[in-house]
Amino acid sequence: MLNITDLHASYGGSLILQGIDLAVKQGEITAIMGRNGMGKTTLMKTIVGLLPAMSGSIQLDGQMITHLKPHRIAERGVGFVPQGREIFGDFTVFENLKLATLRFPRQKRQIPSALFAYFPILEERKNQRAGSFSGGEQQMLAMARALVTHPKLLLLDEPSEGIQPSIVQEIARILRDINQKTGITIVIVEQNVDMILDLADTCAFLEKGRIVDTCPVDTLRKDESLITRYMAV
Amino acid sequence: MADLIIQILNGLNFVLVLIMVAMGLMIIFGLMNVINMAHGEFFLLGAYTVVVTNQIGLGFWPALVLAPLAVGLIGMFIEYVCIRHLYQRPLDTILATWGVSLAIKQLIIIFFGPAGLTVSPPLPWMISVAGINYPAYRLFIMTVALIIIAFTFYIFLRTDFGLGARAVIANRDMAATLGIDTRRMYRTTFTFGAALAGLAGAVMAPIMSCDPQMGLGFFIPAFLSILVGGTGTLYGVLAGGAIVGGGDSLFSYHYSPVIAQVVIFSLAIVLIRIRPQGLLGARNNE
């Protein structure tokens, strides 16, 4: 579904991605794990077009998206929840969600009501300033915002960062629920091992700008040695 | 007393037109991080549109529509030819737009000469305001400026386009990944900002002497208004324009234009020292 081949990209002058190969299967939840500074965020930003790929290719459903502008990649059905959430704090919840629909013609700019079934709190607080939300609520808003336009691929960068454990479980439950009900493919960058064991189908380990290992999460549940090898500081 | 009221009205007149010019400058800066040094020349081109319609016998009124259209198109052209290649290079855009500014001034000198030109004032009668006779045309300018300011606020605070533009100002990358075409947004806003300045120049042409340097008289205070008021919010431009324009008018009347300039510049320097983000500006989150 998402096929990345020999992807190189640099950030801030140094080569961060040094030949990423990754194949994400349709409908699966794939986790990308690795220590800090291994290139996880750079990989996400390169997929959505915010950072240019120096070489290699990114294909979405067989179509090249490697050198497209970010808004074109969004149009192809990629939703992105960035690290730190990056919600628009001065805007209301409704305005944050509305932003994702602006690329459509005026009459098609509705926010699907099914979305609020997953995030009831957002409907209650539709007109509240998003900046007044707690971290967990902002994370839900960022997820909802990425889902407004029914993307086929959802990318999340460290959704559990700075969020209390009970909300992390809630977020994992919602993601699992959406994945099962809509069949959306999810790629999630995460350092929270419990969340990944709970949520993902496949896990890929990123080290020094390369994917060094890939395995089903079931394998990890039985044998955590890979996690120790690639995650321990 | 009558004299004072007239001065206040004249001051208000200046403030409102200044806000029109400064809003365009602010929107362009807020969205694209481009300090448009040619913004005064958009004002200039608007004024000379009136000169042209006068010379070919059409009079003032067609220029009211033609000026924003023509200057908007010129702005769009400049964005396409020059500025779009320089995004992410703020210093270069200052140089480039300064060059555009010089080129426009020289073109005006080539076609119209360096001397000041006057155009016959439309609405050449007086209206009684609070017992004082005041030029009808100046009241017309204030009305136009108020409508345009309100219109701009409406566009940016109440429409979907405005929502997208504010999103780009707040967080360009996030807006782009949500599917907003930031390039198109830049072009549209640059055109809009240029058109605002063009219209301001056109309405001011009949009460000014039109010469190739006239843009500077609005560019500098507009620039100061943004510094004082703060970037990132249109309300900042209102506050900045009122302080800079109002202060300038007040001190010019009581003392002299030179004193006014000194006072306004000093005030701006002190304010920027105390509050670098301006009175109402939000800290840039980049």
Distance separating alpha carbons of residues A150 and A77, to the nearest angstrom: 7
Cα B163 to chain centroid distance, Å, stands at 22
Pick the residue from chain A with its C-alpha nearest to B177: A70
Q: Please report the residues numbered 183 through 202 in chain B whose beta carbons come closer than 8 angstroms to any beta carbon of chain A.
A: 183
Listed range (A41-55, B61-75, B83-97, B188-202) with the worst mean pLDDT = B83-97
Interface mutation vs chain B, best among A87, A99, A111, most B CBs within 10 Å: A99
We report the CATH number of the domain holding residue A8 as: 3.40.50.300
Q: Is the pLDDT of residue B286 over 70?
A: no
Over residues A150-162, the mean pLDDT reads: 95
**Each residue's pLDDT tens digit, B243-270:** 999 999 988 888 888 888 888 889 888 8
Over residues A176-196, the mean pLDDT reads: 95
- Do the Cβ atoms of B37 and B168 come closer than 8 Å? no
Tokens of A41: 């965020």
Over residues B216-228, the mean pLDDT reads: 93
CB atoms within 10 A of CB B83: 23
Beta bridge mates, A213: A205
Distance separating alpha carbons of residues B36 and B265, to the nearest angstrom: 20
Q: What is the pLDDT at residue A188?
A: 97
Q: Are the beta carbons of A82 and B163 separated by less than 8 Å?
A: no
Q: Which of A69, A70, A102 sits opposite B164 (nearest CB)?
A: A102
- Do the Cβ atoms of B70 and B104 come closer than 8 Å? no
Q: How many domains does chain A have?
A: 1
| pTM of structure | 0.89
Tokens of A7: 């992807």
Options 1.20.120, 3.30.70, 1.25.10, 1.10.3470; which CATH number does B2-274 get? 1.10.3470
Over residues A1-26, the mean pLDDT reads: 93
Tokens of A47: 């997929």
Q: What is the pLDDT at residue B285?
A: 40
- B164 in reach of chain A (CB within 8 A): yes
Q: Of A76, A103, A84, which Cα lies nearest the Cα of A2? A: A76
Q: Which range marks the domain in which residue A123 is found?
A: 2-231
**What amino acid is encoded at B275 in this protein?**
R
- A198 in reach of chain B (CB within 8 A): no
> What residue ranges do the domains of chain B occupy?
2-274
Instruction: Decide the pairing of beta strands A185-189 and A29-33.
Output: parallel
Q: What is the pLDDT at residue A12?
A: 81
Q: Which residues of A touch B166 (CB under 8 A)?
A: 90-91
Q: Which of A91, A103, A106 sits opposite B179 (nearest CB)?
A: A103
Q: Which residues of A touch B183 (CB under 8 A)?
A: 69
Q: What is the pLDDT at residue B148?
A: 97
The CA distance from A233 to the nearest CA of chain B, in Å, is: 30
Q: Which DSSP string do the residues of chain B spell out, in sequence order?
A: -HHHHHHHHHHHHHHHHHHHHHHHHHHHHHHH----TTHHHHHHHHHHHHHHHHHTT--SHHHHHHHHHHHHHHHHHHHHHTGGGGTT-HHHHHHHHHHHHHHHHHHHHHHH-SS-B--PPSS-SEEEETTEEEEHHHHHHHHHHHHHHHHHHHHHHHSHHHHHHHHHHH-HHHHHHTT--HHHHHHHHHHHHHHHHHHHHHHHGGGS-B-TTTTHHHHHHHHHHHHHH-SS-HHHHHHHHHHHHHHHHHHHHHS-HHHHHHHHHHHHHHHHHH-TT-SSPPPP--
Q: What is the pLDDT at residue B50?
A: 97
- B179 in reach of chain A (CB within 8 A): yes
Q: Please report the residues numbered 140 through 169 in chain A whose beta carbons come closer than 8 angstroms to any beta carbon of chain B.
A: 145, 149
Q: Is the pLDDT of residue A180 over 50?
A: yes
